Amino acid sequence: MSGFCKSTGERNQPNEANGKVMETNTSEMALKRGRGADRRAVWLVCIVSLSFLLHLVTRVLSGYAYGVMITLFTMLFFASKRITFRRGNRLAYLWLFSDVVLAVSFLRSQRSNGALLDVIVFTCGFLLFLFFSEEETTYLRCLSAIKAFAIFFSAGVLLQRFLPAAYRSVVAVFPSDYRAALGGGRAGFTPNTGYSAGYIIAGLLSCLSAFAARTSRLRLKRCIVPFCLAFALLLTGKRGPTLFAALTLVYCYLVPVKGSRKMRRYWRMLLIVGVLALCVWLFEESLSSIPVIGRFAESISELSVGEDITSGRLGLYRWALQLFREHPMLGIGWGRYRTTVVGNVTRVKSLETHNIYLQLLAETGIVGFLAFMTALLTFWSKSRAAYRDCALRDDGGMRDWRRLLFFSHAYQTYFLLYGLTGNPLYDPHFQIMYIFSCMIYTAYASVAARCTAQPCPPAESASPAWATARRRRAAVSVTVGR
């Protein structure tokens, strides 16, 4: 810089002028980006909210209305963003082949309304992958919406258990069609306890992301909401979701550390598990009144005498494998499995496989299975690397991304685990939430690639906005470079 300007006065004058111009331009650009980000945040929050309002919309209106709504919100989301093709956009093409396979498989099946809705949701997901937002605030607002819905549905479970009169008063406000579909027992404000558990787990991951990202200190008042969500989850009595959520949290707790800290966390986790096991053993009679713990105790006793603890799902698994052997390459068609179980496994009731991997083999064959698993595992492995590297950095500028990447990787992990005993790949709620979690990683990858490729201006001519951008780019680029 000394060779560029001959004197101190000459050096200061152009830099001050350039700084004012850059600050003005940066402010105008930031204002435009802020308005666009606000619009995109609104539409993405609407899409995420639809995952929680699935049964309300389909019962009161119809499945077609649900498909139209999610399509409309998706169009509005990417219409408010300039089309660009960066690294994150290219990642979306991992799902393109899967969507093509899904569409072809749908055309080969009976083309049921549920299968058509799956095609619509996955197609909208592909568009969201292409035209994602790079603003952290867009996704943080969605996490707040997820948390709010989880609190609402967990309140339904708690009210149904402890204040049934208040629960009936709240339910009376719902539309009659939706009220008639509500499940009894422990379902709360949903038709099935499985949905209540899924909604609560999404909110629990959203709450815990603040602690995982070190954006919130561990204080008692901040633990109230996660504790209530966890307690409501135990009251649903769902063994699989509870177990897989616990495994997900343990895994995400151990991943982002290395060296001596890793060993300390392992020992700490073993101590916690040991204390919990001891408490369950000492107070088994009292704790058995909690539905999840009672069901786990029953499963252990049944397993010890050789009984089936899969709720009759072994027959569904065997039938899926038989269908795969008969149609190994392309399967029987997307969404057709549930129509084949009547008369072969069940008498009247149509059921899914309750294992997305076996159902993929049965309905889409080897071709579809490889296409979906390639996309699922690629996004999972990349989000794991990003979450781990981001969590290892002690950088305040990365707090928002650290929180978002925790939720992204945690939900993808839960999705893959729950796929062993559930149907997340065939349910719009889980589909939308999974798409949202993958969008977070694609946005992070795009920001990281762009920040690495575009250098900041010199420090002497940088406005405060440019200085903030420089610090973020340095943090992200170092994280990606690892």
Residue 421 maps to a domain: yes
CA distance 233 to 239: 10
**What average pLDDT does the segment 1-9 reach?**
38
Q: What is the pLDDT of residues 452-464, one digit of tens each?
A: 655 544 444 444 4
> 472 or 204, which is more confident?
204
Q: What is the pLDDT of residues 40-75, one digit of tens each?
A: 899 999 999 999 999 999 999 999 999 999 999 999
Q: What is the pLDDT of residues 210-246, one digit of tens each?
A: 887 665 556 777 789 999 999 999 999 899 999 999 9
Residue 434 maps to a domain: yes
Q: Which residues pair with 346 in a beta bridge?
A: 342
Residue 297 maps to a domain: no
Checking 206-210 for CB contacts under 8 A at 24+ apart, the result is 206/143, 206/144, 206/146, 206/147, 206/150, 206/407, 207/147, 207/150, 208/249, 208/406, 208/410, 209/143, 209/403, 209/404, 209/406, 209/407, 209/410, 210/403
CA distance 397 to 401: 9
Residue 8 maps to a domain: no
Q: What is the pLDDT of residues 347-360, one digit of tens each?
A: 778 888 999 999 99
**What average pLDDT does the segment 252-258 reach?**
84
CA distance 44 to 85: 20
Checking 58-64 for CB contacts under 8 A at 24+ apart, the result is 59/175, 59/177, 59/178, 59/181, 60/175, 60/177, 60/178, 63/113, 63/114, 63/117, 64/113
What pLDDT is recorded for position 331?
94
Spatial CB neighbours of 25, under 8 Å, sequence gap ≥ 6: none
What pLDDT is recorded for position 368?
95
Return the ∠ at Cα 156 (arms to 151 and 162), rounded to 5°.
115
Q: Which amino acid is at 60?
A: V
CA distance 432 to 218: 30
Structure tokens, 234: 């135990």
Distance of CA 356 to the CA centre of its chain: 17
Average pLDDT, the chain: 82
353: enclosing H helix or E strand: none
**Highest mean pLDDT, choosing among 38-42, 370-374, 386-390:** 370-374
Least confident of 118-122, 134-138, 338-342, 344-348: 344-348
What pLDDT is recorded for position 397?
66
What pLDDT is recorded for position 342?
86
* pLDDT at position 345 over 50: yes
CA distances from 153 to 146, 159, 170, 179, 311 (A): 11, 10, 12, 14, 25
> Could you list the residue range(s) of the whole structural domain that residue 423 is in?
42-256+310-481
Q: How many domains does the chain have?
A: 1
Residue 394 maps to a domain: yes
Which residue's entry shows tokens 């990606």? 480
Residue 181 maps to a domain: yes
Structure tokens, 264: 């300390």
1 band by pLDDT with thresholds 50, 70 and 90: very low
What pLDDT is recorded for position 79?
81
Going by C-alpha positions, the residue among 169, 238, 245, 235 that lies closest to residue 207 is: 245
Q: What is the pLDDT of residues 274-332, one digit of tens each?
A: 888 888 788 877 787 888 888 887 888 777 777 777 777 889 999 999 999 999 999 99
What pLDDT is recorded for position 435?
95
Q: What is the pLDDT of residues 143-173, one digit of tens each?
A: 999 999 999 999 999 999 999 999 999 999 9
Structure tokens, 254: 């151990």
CA distance 358 to 420: 9
Q: How buried is residue 287: exposed, middle or buried, by Cβ count under 10 Å (0-12/13-18/19+)?
A: middle
Going by C-alpha positions, the residue among 396, 412, 414, 418 that lies closest to residue 468 is: 396
Residue 32 maps to a domain: no
* pLDDT at position 428 over 80: yes
Residue 262 maps to a domain: no
What pLDDT is recorded for position 54?
93
Going by C-alpha positions, the residue among 168, 164, 157 that lies closest to residue 194 is: 157
126: enclosing H helix or E strand: helix 113-130
CA distance 123 to 299: 40
**What average pLDDT does the segment 424-428 reach?**
94
Which of helix, strand or coil describes residue 342?
strand
Q: Is 312 left (phi over 0), alpha (psi -120 to 50) or beta?
A: left
> Whole-model pTM above 0.75?
yes
330 within 8 A of 368, measured Cβ to Cβ: yes
